[in-house]
Amino acid sequence: MDNSATRNDPLSPPVAYDPTAIERKWQRIWQQRGTNHTDLQRAQRPFYALMMFPYPSAEGLHVGNLFAFTGNDIYGRFQRLMGHNVFEPLGYDAFGIHSENYALKVGVHPMELIPRNIENFQRQLESAGLMVDWRYRLATTDPSYYKWTQWLFLKLFDQGLAYRKKAAVNWCPSCKTVLANEQVVSGGFCERCGTEVEQRLLEQWFFRISDYAPRLLDNLDHIDWSETTKTAQRNWIGRSEGAELKFETRKVSGEACEIRVFTTRPDTIYGATYMVLAPEHPLVEPLTTAKEKKKVDAYRERTTKQDLVARKTSTDKTGAFTGSYAINPATGKEIPIWISDYVLMEYGTGAIMAVPGHDQRDFDFAKEFDLPIVRVVRGERDDANTPLDEAFAEGENGTLVNSGMFDGYDVDAAKKAIVEYLAKAGSAKPVVNYRLHDWCISRQRYWGPPIPIIYCEDCGTVPVPEKDLPVLLPFIEDFKPDDSGVSPLARHEEWYRVACPKCGKTGRRETDVSDNFLDNSWYFLRYPSVGNDEVPFEKSVTKKWLPVTSYIGGNEHAVLHLLYSRFLTMVLHDAGHLDFEEPFTRFRAHGHIIREGAKMSKTQGNIVNPDEYIEKWGADAFRTYLMFLGPYEQGGDFRDASISGSRRFLDRLFASVQSMTADGEPDHEVMRKLHQTIRKVSEDIPRLSYNTAIAAMMEYINVVRRGERTPHRDEVLPLITLVAPFAPHIAEELWEQNGGKGSIFDSAWPTFDPALAADDMIELVVQVNGKVRSRVTVPRDIEEKEALVAALEDSAVAKFVTGAPKKVIFVPGRLINVVV
């Protein structure tokens, strides 16, 4: 469709911008010519532009997906125009509870439903005009993919990083499966369905991510990530420095033993007036005296039954006395040992020394059970004699009192001195503790990769040999989970009965599947090697393309996907499979879009369906609008009424190209503005400041068309390239109309001439006493003396200046401020 003939014919009506036809045309051409294909082998300047892949829900592509992908696509297209070989793959995160729950709801088997959803997604994504090389598309549900997910599990198992243990785990009674800590949100609700989570004691598979806590934390200082994401990871890893102290117990019943506690405040040990163990602490049993047994057992019974939410939201203190006492190693005094659910088994050692004078929780507990409260730190203006009505907790810059030989020490010095002193007796050592727990990866569900383990009566836990991978997920009709604590696969003996790979005796497969977050914690390694069934990631192509150059995604994955990916990359690095240990060199978190000031939700019926908008406005206008509605890293407010602005911009661009002339010379001032625009857009795209880049281009087109002038070719053509990352179809069309060869994306990004972009004459702001009084037009490089003369000549300024100025402040090129 060559418009050049009609364009020059004054009798035919102007050709209008028809996005539907143009977009269809170019999507077809891209496919035919392989425009979006990247030659992974021969690429000279590899640039891996990764976006977080979607799970293919039945509802179809969400506008949030498109917002995320478009932002990445613009960055990728820009980098290609800058001369990089950009690889922009996309795939489907199709395993997991979300997909499975939906399948259950609509009564369609996921093996049927998922391919259907993927097909729909594929259609939607292709209509959005993304520069994706679909030859490297993957789906985590594909056996050729999850074979390697299982391989990954085996690697961790080999290294002793995957282990099985009976533990109190988070159980979602609605999803009927365990959840990782990261999937329990708002203090005790299932991330997926919002149901209150229960605690259950079950045998589960874990990955030792906590071993990597120090490295996961330290490396954050060296990677180029959004600060918000790094902060979230730092908080989640939760490093705290302190000491582990040992308390001997007095023999009450049975043998004496010692209780280890973790504290960040060893300086307050003289104020430790009692101890508390978590109800499930193993020492509770031996320490409980016959007299107290009934009460203790009742309390333990109560706390295990209690759901997490009640336990975590209430700050009321409950507990029971064990009947035993421990010796405070500093004071030598006997202190009672209690149990309470405010002490968590999962953190530290599951036991604390309680210092009610300086910890609010201990204070509340002491008040409840009438335990002694001793002040051992005083503040600067504080005599430490007045009784406390709350714990004196912010005592970090306090001084020790009632602490024997340490009286008068400041808190920091005391922390060190007391640990050193107690260490001599072997009852203290400095310790660093992390909040990060091991990652529970087994799920009692159907829709995931089976964990490749076989249990044998003689050989025990046996990994499935690599050559037998993948362990295929069988098709079963009754995939609905139940409350039994085991996967639906456990109902299928024909599947789980297998020969032990070691001895050949009949064994039993592990029937749990792995967490969905394991599927997606390594997919970026797979893309460049898609199609290779011999290895998970081929060596040379991995070396060339990884780590990922640029990753853009949602911050909701800050402590899930993004942390797990880093962990697994480190593990693979340590095992010699990768030569880097951080997967994503650069990560930027994008914002989220709301609609008309409200959250988008199905129940509110305000979901934006991309199909309708693309059909009505065109993908280019839709993309441009999504990027224009707010700063990309902050998200923004989607308003239907505003899309017309983006469409008008493209209309005007299209019209300008149709009406432009090659005759004569371009206007000097317009060309100056053009170079300023090139500079602005070139600076804004790398900062992901897409909204201001678009604003600059809009401003420019207004200048080009001002007063219905006929624009010159030289004024307009470079703008087509500037627009190309945002609106690729119209850019290709206009490029072709003007004799461009091949794809515009194989051409070069325009450069700007700094000399031309600089204005000769500027508007110098004139202030009197800091208030703007006037503006004078002066040469850009005017000196202070001349500027002052020009300023004082201005009548609006002269009015305010009587006599000689006291002081003059001159900012070259900007303003002059006369102080009188």
Partner RNA sequence: GCGGAAGUGGCGGAAUUGGUAGACGCGCUGGACUUAGGAUCCAGUGGAGCAAUCCGUGGGGGUUCGAGUCCCCCCUUUCGCACCA
Q: Binding string, 642-661, against RNA, x = CB under 7 A?
A: x-xxx-xx-xx---------
Residue 342 as a binder of RNA (CB under 7 A): the answer is yes
Residues 476-515, interacting with RNA (CB under 7 A): none
Identified binder of RNA from the candidate list 284, 343, 374, 670, rule CB under 7 A: 343
Q: Which DSSP string corresponds to 238-262?
A: -EEEEEEEEEEEPPSSS---EEEEE
Question: Closest by alpha carbon to 69, among 120, 127, 117?
Answer: 127
Selected binder of RNA within 122, 144, 219, 264 (CB under 7 A)? 264
Give which of 357, 397, 378 is closest to 271, Cα–Cα: 357
Among 93, 359, 667, 736, binds RNA (CB under 7 A): 359
Of residues 262 and 496, the one with the C-beta less far from RNA = 262
For residues 395-434, which are near RNA according to CB under 7 A? 433
Q: Which member of 59, 407, 669, 763 binds RNA (CB under 7 A)?
A: 763
Q: Which stretch binds RNA (CB under 7 A): 121-129, 486-494, 525-533, 701-709?
A: 701-709
210 contributes a contact to RNA by CB under 7 A: no
- Contact between 307 and 387 under an 8 Å Cβ cutoff? The reply is no
Q: Closest distance between RNA and the C-beta of residue 623, in Å?
A: 14
Please select the residue that binds RNA; options are 13, 107, 770, 803, rule is CB under 7 A.
Answer: 770
In the bound state with RNA, the residue whose beta carbon lies nearer, of 182 and 736, is 182
Among residues 491, 577, 616, 775, which is the contact residue for RNA, using CB under 7 A? 775
Q: For residue 233, give every residue at least 6 positions away whose Cβ sits within 8 Å of its Cβ, in sequence order, or none.
A: 216, 217, 220, 558, 559, 562, 563
Choice from 46, 474, 631, 805 touching RNA (CB under 7 A) = 631
Q: Tell me how far apart the terminal alpha carbons of the chain are, to the nearest angstrom.
A: 68
Q: Is 72 helix (H, G, I), strand (E, B) or coil?
A: helix
Instruction: Say how far apart CA 786 and CA 407 lie, in whole Å.
Output: 70
Q: How far is the CB of 315 from RNA (least distance, A)?
A: 5
From the number of C-beta atoms within 10 Å of its C-beta (0-12, 13-18, 19+), residue 326 rates as: buried
Using CB under 7 A as the binding rule, whether residue 24 contacts RNA is answered as: no
Is residue 595 at the binding interface for RNA, with CB under 7 A as the rule? no
Whether the CB-CB separation of 516 and 564 falls below 8 Å is answered with no
Measured CA to CA, the distance from residue 283 to residue 370 in angstroms comes to 24
Q: How far is the CB of 103 from RNA (least distance, A)?
A: 26
Q: Is 706 in the site for RNA (CB under 7 A)?
A: yes
Q: Is 277 helix (H, G, I), strand (E, B) or coil?
A: strand
CB of 82 to RNA, least distance (A): 19
Restricting to residues 237-256, name those near RNA by CB under 7 A: 238, 240, 242
Structure tokens at 470: 């993948």
Comparison of 25 and 435: residue with beta carbon closer to RNA? 435
**What residues are paired with 198 via a beta bridge?**
171
Asked whether position 280 contacts RNA by CB under 7 A, the answer is: no
Shortest Cβ 378–RNA spacing (Å) = 19
Q: Does 193 bind RNA (CB under 7 A)?
A: no
The answer to whether 691 contacts RNA (rule: CB under 7 A) is: yes
One-letter amino acid of 32: Q
Q: How far is CA 74 from CA 67, 69, 88, 130, 511, in A?
A: 11, 9, 11, 9, 44
Reply yes or no: is the peptide bond before residue 387 cis, omega within 30 of 0.
no
Residue 583 in tokens: 């997967």
Residues 442 to 481: which contact RNA by CB under 7 A?
none
Establish if 779 lies at the interface with RNA (CB under 7 A): no
Nearer to RNA, 550 or 767 (CB): 767
For RNA, the binding residue among 174, 331, 692, 738 (CB under 7 A) is 692
CB of 582 to RNA, least distance (A): 21
Residue 412's Cβ-side half-sphere holds a number of Cα atoms within 13 Å equal to 2
Q: How far apart are CA 313 and CA 411, in angstroms?
A: 31
User: Residue 510, exposed/middle/buried by CB under 10 A (0-12, 13-18, 19+)?
Assistant: buried
Report yes or no: 401 and 418 within 8 Å, Cβ to Cβ.
no
Site string for RNA, 544-583 (x = CB under 7 A): --------------xx------------------------
**Which residue, 316 or 478, has its beta carbon nearer to RNA?**
316
Q: Give the CA diameter of the chain.
A: 108
Triad 32, 745, 622: Cα angle to 5°: 85
56 touching RNA, by CB under 7 A: no
698: contact with RNA by CB under 7 A: yes
Is position 291 an interface residue for RNA (rule: CB under 7 A)?
no
How many residues bind RNA (CB under 7 A)? The answer is 92
Instruction: Provide, for the chain, the percentages of residues in helix, strand and coil under a 3-state DSSP scheme, each rounded to the nearest 5.
Output: 40, 20, 40
CB 554 within 8 A of CB 228: no
Dihedral through CA 131, CA 135, CA 138, CA 143, nearest 10? 180
* 12 makes contact with RNA (CB under 7 A): no
Q: Of the listed pieces 193-201, 349-357, 517-525, 735-743, which binds RNA according to CB under 7 A?
A: 349-357
Instruction: Tell me the closest approach of the beta carbon of residue 284 to RNA, in angstroms.
Output: 14
Identify which of residues 310 and 405 has a Cβ nearer to RNA in the complex. Answer: 310
Report if residue 789 touches RNA, rule: CB under 7 A: no
Using rule CB under 7 A, residue 769 touches RNA? yes
At 651, is the secondary structure helix, strand, or coil?
helix
Q: Which stretch binds RNA (CB under 7 A): 23-31, 314-322, 367-375, 600-608?
A: 314-322
